[in-house]
Structures are given as C-alpha cells and as structure tokens.
C-alpha cells in the first residue's frame, strides 16, 4: 500500500524547539565521537543517529569541529574543573589525621570526576593530534597548574616544579586506574582507589 504524503513507514522525527533540537544534536554527536573519534565520525553519522538530515545539523553548527567543541570539549571543560586540593586548609590542619582528611577529600573528587570525564578525555586527547594538543594546553594543563599551586601551599615545597609533578602524577594515576577498570570491566571502587592515591601522595611527599 502506498504511503500517503510521501512519508516513510519509519516514525517521523518530531519537531522540537530549537534549544531542545540543539541539545539533542550535541548529545548524539557526543555518542558518535566517543564511538568513532573525531576523524572517523562524519556529520552524516551524527544526523543518522537521531534521524535528521545533515542540513538540520548545519542550522546549528557550521562545521564538524564546532560540533566536536560543543559535544566533547565544552563538557570536558565543565567537568574537569575540579576543586583544587585545598592547600591552605591542608597547611592549617592541626594534626596529621586532619591533613589526611583534607587530602583524601581532594583526591576523591579528582577520582570521581575522572570516572565521569574519562570517555570525553580519551576522545578529546586522542581523536586528533592538533585538537588534542589544543585541549591539553588550554583546558587541562591550567587545571594541573592550579592543583600544583595548592600542593605547593599545602606542603610548603620550595620547588614549584616538584609541586606540579605531584599534581600531574595524581591526575595521571587517577586516569590510569579509571582506564584499567574501564578496559578490564572490573568494578571501580572509588574509595579504595582514593585511599591508595592519597596514601602514596601523603607518604611520598611528606618524606
């Protein structure tokens, strides 16, 4: 039987308000970029993900790079801006036990957020060398420098480069452990991981 009005047998994409349609496109782009990477994904793939035409995408985004920015980089910026380790609170803590609590709380936030941003971080950093370099230098490294400054204040370190090394190491440990659990499909115990990283950080830096 013929389909009236030229409509396909598939359900027709519902008309959405512009803001809602843009949000839908961004969410679809995020899924496609995470699956296929920046170079592998096509605007056609993103359009197909939600059953719209490429022309619809271009109403909201001029290029695939703009979509990548909105879908991957901007959420990464929002999520990765973790509260820096409270160096002043750490320095003023009256006892070793209190210092450990402050440190552990900061590390836990890093680990928890890393579990959230991991797929975005992988996509932003490794989809394309040029964009990965830009994201690291403009969005990630400044956060590491902030954490390094907090470490410097908290531990009263004379060498700021060493404080930055501690910050990068903490970030790297969190990333590596989340990656390990992701690929081995082992459950991620955030409290256990937090205790191990905080222990390494405190025992190593305090020596």
Question: The pTM is what?
Answer: 0.75
Mean per-residue pLDDT, 187-192: 93
As a whole number of angstroms, the distance between CA 186 and CA 50 comes to 32
CA 182/CA 60 separation, integer angstroms: 33
Which of 1.20.210.10, 1.20.1260.120, 1.10.10.60, 1.20.1630.10 is the CATH number of 16-71? Answer: 1.10.10.60
On whether the CB atoms of residues 43 and 105 are closer than 8 A, the answer is: no
Q: What is the mean pLDDT of residues 95-105?
A: 86
CATH number of the structural domain 81-205: 1.10.357
What is the percentage of the chain residues whose pLDDT exceeds 70? 89
46/57 Cα distance (integer angstroms)? 8
**Residue 176: per-residue pLDDT:** 93
Residue 61 and residue 75: Cα distance in Å, rounded? 16
Confidence of residue 61 (pLDDT cuts 50, 70, 90): very high
Q: In this structure, what token pair is assigned to residue 117?
A: 């941003």
Q: Give the residue range(s) of CATH 1.10.10.60 domains in the chain.
A: 16-71
Supply the pLDDT for residue 70.
Answer: 93
DSSP secondary structure string for all residues of 16-50: --HHHHHHHHHHHHHHHHHHHHHHH--HHHHHHHH
Query: Within the chain, which residue ranges are assigned CATH 1.10.357?
Result: 81-205
């Amino acid at each position: 039987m013929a389909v009236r009005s030229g409509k396909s047998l598939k359900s027709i994409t519902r008309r959405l308000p512009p803001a809602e349609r843009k949000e839908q496109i961004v969410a679809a782009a995020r899924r496609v970029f995470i699956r296929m990477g920046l170079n592998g994904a096509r605007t056609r793939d993103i359009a197909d993900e939600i059953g719209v035409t490429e022309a619809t995408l271009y109403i909201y985004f001029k290029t695939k790079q703009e979509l990548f920015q909105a879908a991957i980089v901007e959420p990464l910026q929002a999520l990765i801006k973790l509260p820096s380790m409270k160096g002043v609170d750490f320095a003023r803590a009256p006892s070793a036990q209190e210092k450990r609590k402050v440190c552990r709380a900061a590390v836990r936030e890093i680990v928890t957020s890393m579990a959230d941003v991991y797929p975005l971080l992988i996509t932003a950093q490794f989809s394309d060398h040029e964009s990965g370099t830009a994201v690291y230098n403009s969005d990630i490294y400044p956060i590491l420098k902030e954490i390094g400054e907090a470490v410097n204040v908290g531990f009263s370190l004379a060498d700021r480069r060493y404080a930055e090394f501690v910050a990068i190491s903490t970030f790297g440990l969190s990333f590596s452990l989340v990656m390990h659990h992701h690929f081995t499909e082992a459950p991620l115990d955030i409290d256990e991981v937090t205790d191990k990283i905080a222990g390494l950080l405190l025992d190593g830096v305090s020596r």
